[in-house]
Amino acid sequence: MTLWEELTARGLIAQVTDEEEIKELVNNGKATFYIGFDPTADSLHVGHFMALCLMKRLQMAGNKPIALLGGGTGMIGDPSGRTDMRKMLTKEDIQHNIDCFKQQMSRFIDFSDGKAIMVNNADWLLNLNYVELLREVGAHFSVNRMLTAECYKQRMERGLSFLEFNYMIMQSYDFYMLYQKYGCNMQFGGDDQWSNMLGGTELIRRKLNKDAYAMTITLLLNSEGKKMGKTASGAVWLDPNKTSPFDFYQYWRNVDDSDVIKCMKLLTFLPLEQIQEMEAWEGSQLNKAKEILAYELTNLVHGEEEAKKAQEAARALFGGGADSANMPTTELTDADFTDGAVDLISLLVKAELVGTRSEGRRAIEQGGVTLDGEKIMDVKYVVAKEALTGDGKVLKRGKKKFNKIIVK
RNA sequence: GGAUGGUUUCCCGAGUGGCCAAAGGGGACAGACUGUAAAUCUGCUGGCAACGCCUUCGGUGGUUCGAAUCCACCACCAUCCA
């Protein structure tokens, strides 16, 4: 199976400019391609992860990846697919975020010996001369055309600042620069980047009279059409300090039935034949598939050791096993006790299972709190210090949030 | 620059002087049912030392016994005009 066939079979490809040419380049390892990452946060998330995986697949097939960090474009903010303006980032934030990105990326992509390059568009964007740029590049863009671009549609109603309007031009300029500097002939990106990417191929055609290609990756949407990789409290991050390996594992363990196979194809490196077998699975059997998905992804992002730990902790908690060795733990000290005891609500707060005491009280009243498997509905319940020494106790709030409490 | 309309709790959105911690919906959370899924039903959704108290309705002042509601100024957003 060729690389192209595999990408297609996995459903990774959304749109392409020239299928035949791209197929040819990619299959034969002749593509030098780039993917841009704007430093909008201090960690990569699942969307970035998909892009990195694609990068890796192509790299393995002999193509040369360029990871572009948006030190310059991050100063502007991409309006694509957004209903309101992004918060403007300070230069310091951007630099910090770039440093974080770099670190995380090098875990996935091999940058040694020029097998891949990492560049920062701040290097050329920040020194641009306004009038010169307008004459050199601006002349090639039609405002009429830009306004009809899909990426601005949502913003035409809510308002679009001139700053953000220029994002497309910056991104196009990136491609143009990379084409000249590194012979970069292809750009990949999320499907919401399509218009921006076309801007680049157009610019190269007009300025250099050369062909360059663009291809977008399917956006990871759930069966309801919403972006995946988001939780109530924000994105699912790749940084273990922002999203713990266990939470990361659980996120995938809990995807809807209807999304498992799709995630498997889009996000893992499991062979297609194996995934096809799972497609036949039904009902509770899908739980097995979810476990595999969660393990695979945690393994890719956090390594084998963390993946095993997360899996064991999950099995212990939901499978009724007694092994609580790998559970997230809260350690208490003497200062947490008054008269050798601590009340249950405080315990919930200390373990960060609830945000406020009121929330804790509510959880208890509604029968959502158990201590070592025993349901407690008394709001005034008090736990003695002795009960928490030794192996400690497992405090659980709801079905999926829990913490082992132990006295140090 | 001018005119008009707007800014309400996580989101949408009611409320136009006391009965307002603020209707309704969504989401989130908890319970039942399940498979750590979905659907459904129920509860719940500012905080706290909790039959009470404190903080909240863009910001700052003011009127009033009493303000999310009235007044003034400021900020931001939308539409139309220039």
Domains of chain A: 3-228 (3.40.50.620), 244-318 (1.10.240.10), 329-407 (3.10.290.10)
What is the distance in angstroms measured between the alpha-carbon CA of A359 and the sugar C1' of B22? 20
Whether the CB-CB separation of A21 and A155 falls below 8 Å is answered with: no
C-alpha A238/C-alpha A299 separation (Å) is: 12
Task: Answer yes or no: is A375 CB < 7 A from strand B.
Answer: no
Q: Which residues of chain A (275-294) touch nucleic strand B at CB < 7 A?
A: 283-284, 286-287, 290-291
- List bases, strand B, within 7 Å of protein CB: 27-32, 34-38, 43-50, 77-79
Indicate yes or no: strand B within 7 A of the C-beta of A321.
Answer: no
Predicted interface score ipTM higher than 0.90 = no
pLDDT 10s digits, A266-290: 999 999 999 999 999 988 888 999 9
Q: What is the mean pLDDT of chain A?
A: 89
Q: Which of residues 222-241 of A touch strand B (CB under 7 A)?
A: 232
Nucleotide nearest to A318 (CA to C1'): B36
Least confident of A152-156, A189-193, A248-252: A152-156
Q: Is any atom of nucleic acid chain B found less than 7 Å from the CB of residue A6?
A: no
pLDDT in tens, A329-378: 888 888 888 888 899 999 999 998 998 999 999 999 999 999 988 899 99
CA–CA separation, A359 and A362 (whole Å): 5
The mean-pLDDT minimum among A30-34, A158-162, A288-292 falls in A158-162
Let me know the angle formed at the C-alpha of A78 by A77 and A81, rounded to the nearest 5 degrees: 140
Point out the residue nearest to B28 (C-alpha to C1'). A232
pLDDT category at A180 given cuts 50, 70, 90 is very high
